[in-house]
Amino acid sequence: MKLREQAGRWLDQRYPMSALREGFGKQMHKLLPSNVGWVHTLGGMLLFLTAQQILTGILLMVYYRPTTDEAYESVRFLMLKASFGWLIRGLHAWGATLMIAVLVLHMLRVFVLGAFKKPRELTWVGGVLLFFTTLGFGFTGYLLPWNQLSYWATTVGTEVVASIPAIGHGLGVLVRGGEAVGQETLSRFYVVHVVVLPWLLVLLVVVHIVMIRTQNLASLDRVGEELPPQPGKGVRFSPEHLSRELVVFPLFFALLVALVILYPPDVGVKADSTVTPEGIKPEWYFLPTYQFLKYLPKLAGLALSAVPPALLLFWPFLDRTRARRPSQRKLSVSLGLAALFLTLLLGFVGYLSESDLTIFGTHLRFDMYGVPKRVESGR
């Protein structure tokens, strides 16, 4: 204790520690609007997942080798030989999946409760950019184990990029580092995944948090009629909201570890550029786009698939009504939920497409459009 006091005094004599302590304490005891509840803990979980992905990512880099000859073997090695390698990779892979899922739920909360409206439009835009950055992590990270699934999903994904009129071919070459997915692609994806995107993510997260802390969380009052939370009516960040986070966190972490143990990520078969396996698919969060592109001619599909991300990004500037309560924004909330339902449906059909399923003894084969056809036994 004496040592701590001495260290504190030593720092006080050199830096404005009391001002820093005061600022930190102010943030910790900040009064939040009274509507802040359990659904507001999703942001905290995302912060935890970000930290966990960075930590597990650094640990994976200890063994991972980003070359086409060694990438697959190094992932196998760390899974099978390195102590707790299976756990580290499992946490990273499932952490990525949960990050997307929690991000979607977090954005859904912000959307339904009208928290994206004035004066928080840019906080929403920053959040959507964080969502796109996370998808970028998913796309680049998927290739790194260099297995058949990741190789061919990346081939198809980069071919979609190369299909963009006029600039597509050049963009495809730039992304892949050549005409086909190979060592250059792996090197590029690795650099983007472990250096470029993490810095971008940290920058966006810091800006996002500063914006939230400066403007406070949104209440349910109409735009322009928001009043600062009143003492005795609001929710204090610490201890009230923080205790909610501390209840959700162990449950969330238990779910994550259970998923890692029950459904450990597969290493698959090593990438082979001469054989495309049947039924290759992207990660689940790209399935809706993947399926959507099948129903339309290539160019029309590409043009239309750019519409939902653009709508998402600019939504605060399109929906400029003043009400925040979902009960007073029935059209806007219905549109959003319908879009979410359509996305989930497309993803589900994409998941089923080009696969076989047996339901109550009936064998079904789903074609590329997701249309089931009965398959006679013995065929």
For binding to another protein (CB under 8 A), which residues are involved? 152, 155-156, 158-160, 163, 173-174, 176-180, 184, 273-280, 294, 298, 354, 367-368
CB of 191 to another protein, least distance (A): 10
CB of 379 to another protein, least distance (A): 12
CB of 117 to another protein, least distance (A): 36
CB of 151 to another protein, least distance (A): 11
* Residues 177/188, Cβ–Cβ less than 8 Å: yes
- Least Cα distance to 186 among 178, 176, 196 occurs for 176
Which lies closer to another protein via its Cβ, residue 229 or residue 282? Answer: 282
Long-range contact pairs involving 327-335 (C-beta distance under 8 Å, separation at least 24): 329/114, 333/111, 333/112
* Residues 217/40, Cβ–Cβ less than 8 Å: yes
CB of 368 to another protein, least distance (A): 5
Which lies closer to another protein via its Cβ, residue 298 or residue 330? Answer: 298
Which lies closer to another protein via its Cβ, residue 152 or residue 285? Answer: 152
Which lies closer to another protein via its Cβ, residue 214 or residue 274? Answer: 274
Euclidean distance between CA atoms 181 and 194, whole angstroms: 19
CB of 372 to another protein, least distance (A): 15
Which lies closer to another protein via its Cβ, residue 70 or residue 367? Answer: 367
Which lies closer to another protein via its Cβ, residue 278 or residue 376? Answer: 278
Euclidean distance between CA atoms 47 and 206, whole angstroms: 10
CB of 356 to another protein, least distance (A): 14
* Residues 115/218, Cβ–Cβ less than 8 Å: yes
CB-based contacts of 187, cutoff 8 Å, min separation 6: 66, 177
Euclidean distance between CA atoms 139 and 186, whole angstroms: 12
Which lies closer to another protein via its Cβ, residue 69 or residue 367? Answer: 367
Cα(first)–Cα(last) distance of the chain, in Å?
A: 77
Residue 101: φ, ψ to 5°: -60, -45
Which lies closer to another protein via its Cβ, residue 50 or residue 155? Answer: 155
Euclidean distance between CA atoms 206 and 100, whole angstroms: 19
Amino acid making up residue 280: I
- DSSP of 276-299, one letter per residue? PPTT----GGGHHHHHHHHSS-HH
CB of 84 to another protein, least distance (A): 36
